[in-house]
Structure formats: structure tokens, C-alpha cells
Structure 1
Amino acid sequence: MHEFSVVQSLMGLIERHAQENNAKSVSKVVVKIGKMSGIEPHLLKIAFDTFKEKTICENANLEMVIQDVVALCEDCKKEFIVENNRFVCPFCGGFNLRILDGEDMYLLSLELET
């Protein structure tokens, strides 16, 4: 389960931001998870709850924003949300697509207690 290593990296990032802002604790962590990121939200939650014990995030809630896959058709220049893993432009039927969003996981925000 690679979510454990993802959470370890996330905790390092959170701790660095908390330290830079002289925070005593973190009350909320908001992440954006792309549907094509390979991250399973329920497994990320389990990993986060496991790793947060005895850290600056011990009392933090994890909020996950699930991001649809957004593509741009390079043929007709229209953006669309990829539905049901169908990587075909719904406007022109083209396959010449560029993925714009939904492949990554981002730390969006933290609520820090000072």
C-alpha cells in the first residue's frame, strides 16, 4: 500500500509548514486527490490516521477533495471531464488529448494552531 509512503511525505511537508509558521498543532489538512493519481482515498485516510499519532497532526482532520480528470482535445481545443475512463473527445471524437488535471495529489491548505 503506497499510501503509507505518500502520507510519510505529506507529514514531512506539513511539519515543515507548521515549523515555518510557529504552529503548535495542525487542526485540518486539505488535500486534492486526482482520480488518476493512483491514490485510494480510503487507504490514504487510514494511513493518515495511523501516522498522525504523536505528531503535530495528532488532532487534525483530513479533508479530501476528489478531482475529476480534465482533458483538452488538441484537435477541437475544447476541455471536458473524462467520464468512465473514456479518453475520447465528446465533441469531435478525437483521441489527441492532453490531461490538464486529475493526475496528482496536492496539499491545498492547512489550519494551524499557534
Structure 2
Amino acid sequence: MSYVLWRSIMHERSLVQTLLNQVQQIVADDGGGVVKEIQVQVGDLSGVEPLLFESAFTELAREWFPQECRLVLDIVPVKAECRLCGQCFEVQDNEFLCPACGTGPVEVIQGDQVKLMSITVDSENSVSGAKS
């Protein structure tokens, strides 16, 4: 296994461990229950490899939750806003030029984060939120 691949795998494992700790704390604070599903948004520009993230989740979730817990991973495209004309657009092929005015000073407004979107718990409560 190459060093780059090993390092990438460790990155996703670390993110999943942080996510599972966060989920466990949220559920405990909300009164407990059996976690059935965790929905996460992963931006195309977040530096997270979805397949490695899913693999790490499958492996590590068993350590946190005794029952099966499903991961729903939503891949979010990169969107940017032109700082000159205000045009919002989806970035294609890492082309960070405004399609309206052709300039380059843009601000990424979506697709560069990993966000916990919701937790489904086997109880009467479902915990939702947009935590980073």
C-alpha cells in the first residue's frame, strides 16, 4: 500500500471517528435511543473520498453502535459566487471562472464541507441539524 493511499484512508477514518463521536453525544444529550441512520453531506471540494469514507464508516460504526446503522452519503457539487457581478454558478471541471462575466475572483459557497445533516433514532425522537 502506498503512503498516499494509507494517509488518505487514515484521513477518512479520522473523520468517521469524529462523526460517530458527535452522533453518540447528540443522541445521548437527546435522551438516547438506537441510531438507525446517519445522513451526511460531502462536498466535492471537501477532500473526502466518498468510497473510503463509506468503507471506514462500515468498519467503525460497529464499534459505536451494536445494531446496524446505515450511512446516507449525499455528494454536494461545488457552487461559487462571482465577487464582481454576484452570479452564482456550479463549478465544472475545477473551472473557477464566472460564466457570466468571465472573471476569476469567486467565493466558494457550497461543496467544500462535510456536514452531519440528520440522525434517525429508533425512538419517538429524530434528531436533525446541520453540524460541521
> Counting helix residues as a fraction of each chain, which structure ranks higher?
2
Q: Distance in 2 between matches of 1:101 and 1:54?
A: 32
**Which residue does 1:50 correspond to in 2?**
59
**Which residue does 2:91 correspond to in 1?**
82
Task: Note the residue ranges of structure 2 that are not aligned, 5 or more in a row.
Answer: 1-8, 124-132
Task: Note the residue ranges of structure 1 that are not aligned, 5 or more in a row.
Answer: none
Cα offset for 1:39? 0.5
Contact kept, 8 Å, 1:24 with 1:56, in 2: the verdict is: no
Q: Distance in 1 between matches of 2:43 and 2:66?
A: 23
Cα offset for 1:94? 0.5
1:14 aligns with 2:23: yes
What are the equivalent positions in structure 2 for 1:67-106 lying under 5 Å apart? 67-106=76-115
**Which residue does 1:26 correspond to in 2?**
35
**Which residue does 1:110 correspond to in 2?**
119
Q: Distance in 2 between matches of 1:73 and 1:110?
A: 34
Counterpart amino acid of residue 51 in structure 2: H
Q: Please, what TM-score do these two structures have when normalized by structure 1?
A: 0.95
Counterpart amino acid of residue 38 in structure 2: V
Counterpart amino acid of residue 73 in structure 1: C
Give me the identity figure in percent: 29
Cα offset for 1:25? 1.2
- Kindly report structure 1 stretches of 4+ aligned residues shifted beyond 2 Å: 54-58
Counterpart amino acid of residue 87 in structure 2: K
Q: Distance in 2 between matches of 1:52 and 1:92?
A: 47
